[in-house]
Every structure is written in structure tokens, then in C-alpha cells.
Amino acid sequence: MSNASIVFPDINASFLEASNLNTVCSNYIGILNQTEDFYFSQYANKLLEFVDSNKKISSLEKEFHEIKIFLRNWSKSNSVQISISSRKKAFIRFNSKIRLFLSDGLDLNGIRDVLGFKLVLFTSKSDSLETQELAYKLMNDLLIFFSIQRKSLLLNAEDRMGEALQPDSEIAKRIFVYDKSLLRPEFKSKVKNYVQYPKDTGYQGLHAYIKTPTSLVFEIQVKTLAMDIFADSIHEIHKKQRYANFKIPLDYSKIQLPGVIFDENDYLISDKCGLLNSVDPFNIIF
């Protein structure tokens, strides 16, 4: 059920006398809890995950090390280079996603992408059945690696949001779509398959969520080079479409966080703490 009429508490007061994003987040959690509203209580609990994610970066680094070893061997065996990067979702975008879920009546447990890895196969600039087969193979092998060798739990894929790509659209003509899934049967419920079923923007990729024995949860995205190039080209369009009604109104004069600098037109010129942009703590290419 949609809750589109929700009016969210003002976030600007959270920035007053705050020196970092954790303080901003904690301040806003306090504001949300003061309302004694069910939805805002859920909102506050979800924001706690953002605060707690800083404590989990070291655990993410351990997983990064294990994936590096796996990818180094996989890359050699399949004769293809792969890049891997990690990221922590930006505070404002995480906030916007919570609001979008609440307004659409969706379960906030479906938001599990605070931390994540993106893997890009260095295939050709245009996709084909062969390049997409490699993407499926990498995801299949990764899920085997995590579930068996890393003893991790594969979480069910979250529900799709937004419209599917129309096959006769202009965007559909610009990408390659193979109409069959090459995921192993046991993994089909664990992977959000935007390769077989692209978003209406043309975005493609394979997304899965992993929960380690230490309860660390992170997202894995697998893309071909063509998918990644196309995703970059439409990323801003996607954000504008998805979050059009969920821009968080900010008084930029109140934002005094180290590394966050706006010019006289409120244009972001530095964002080292990840207020608006994702933070990439580490990345590597094999």
C-alpha cells in the first residue's frame, strides 16, 4: 500500500553543530524518534544501519581480500580482466531510498545495499551472447564461492522497482538482451537479473546479496564493460526518474562537515565524506 502522503521531519536541524555524518545521522534519528510515529521509528532503525556500517568496513576489507584471491584465479582461467571496487552508499542517497520505500509501502528490510562490491568484466564495448555468458558464469561461480567456501548465506533478491524495458523502445535498440537466464536454477531467486530483464532506462547487471557468518551484509554487482559504460551514461537520468519526488531539502549553509564544500550557487565541489556521492574505499583490476 502506498503512503505517498507522508511528510518527513525536517533534516536540516541535524546538521547543526555536527562534525561528521555519523553525528548528522544520530541527530536525525533522535528527531525521528521524537515523533513517536511508527513509520519514522522504522526510518530511524534503518538509519542506524548507516551508522553501524562504519564499524563493518574492516570486515568488508576481509571479504575484499578473499574475493581478490578468487578473482585472480578466475580471471586467469577465463582469460578476461576484471575490476572490483567497493563502495559505501552515500548518506543522502540512502536517506532518499528509505523515503522512497516508505512512501511506496515497501519493506525497509529490502534495503541491503549500504555496502557493496561492483565487478566489471573487461569485455568488448558492445555486448554479445558470449560476453553476457561470462557475466552469468562469474555470478554463478561467485555465489558458489560465497555459499560453500565462505560459508555465507545468499539472501533472496529484493523485488524489482520501476518499469521494465519495452522491447520496441529506442533504448532497447542500443543494448544486447538475451531472453534466457544462464543462472544456475538454485540461484535464480537469489539474483536480481537486470541482464535478462533490463530496467526501462536500459540498465543491465546482476545483483545479489550476501550475509557472512559474522552478519555482514553486502551487495555484489556483476556487469560487462558494455553494461558499465551504458550504466554510467544513464546514471543521472535514472536518479532523476527514481528519486524525482524524494529530493531531501537541504539548507547548505548549515552543512559544515569536513571535506564537504559548496560554492556560492550550492554546487557541490568537494565531498570527501560521502554526503551525496558513494565512497569507494578500495578497488583493484586483475
pTM for the whole structure: 0.86
Query: What percentage of the chain's residues is helix, strand, coil (to nearest 5)?
Result: 45, 15, 40
> Cα separations (Å) of 156 from 110, 193, 228?
10, 12, 24
Length of the chain measured in residues: 286
Lowest-pLDDT choice from 71-75, 107-111, 157-161: 157-161
Quick: pLDDT tens for 102-141: 988 889 988 998 999 999 999 999 999 999 999 999 999 9
Quick: pLDDT tens for 210-231: 999 999 999 999 999 999 999 8
According to the model, what pLDDT value does residue 154 have? 97
80 within a domain of the structure (yes/no): yes
6 within a domain of the structure (yes/no): no
According to the model, what pLDDT value does residue 271 have? 86
Asked if residue 135 lies in contact with residue 121, where contact means CB atoms within 8 angstroms, the answer is yes
7 within a domain of the structure (yes/no): no
Asked if residue 284 lies in contact with residue 70, where contact means CB atoms within 8 angstroms, the answer is no
280 within a domain of the structure (yes/no): yes
CATH number of the domain enclosing 178: 3.30.460.10
Residue 58's Cβ-count burial label (10 Å; 0-12, 13-18, 19+) is: exposed
Asked if residue 255 lies in contact with residue 92, where contact means CB atoms within 8 angstroms, the answer is no
Helices (H), the chain: 21-34, 38-53, 57-78, 91-103, 129-144, 225-242
2 within a domain of the structure (yes/no): no
Quick: pLDDT tens for 43-64: 999 999 999 988 888 899 999 9
Lowest-pLDDT choice from 133-147, 167-181, 271-285: 271-285
121 within a domain of the structure (yes/no): yes
What residues make up the domain containing 223? 12-285
* Domains in the chain, number: 1
22 within a domain of the structure (yes/no): yes
245 within a domain of the structure (yes/no): yes
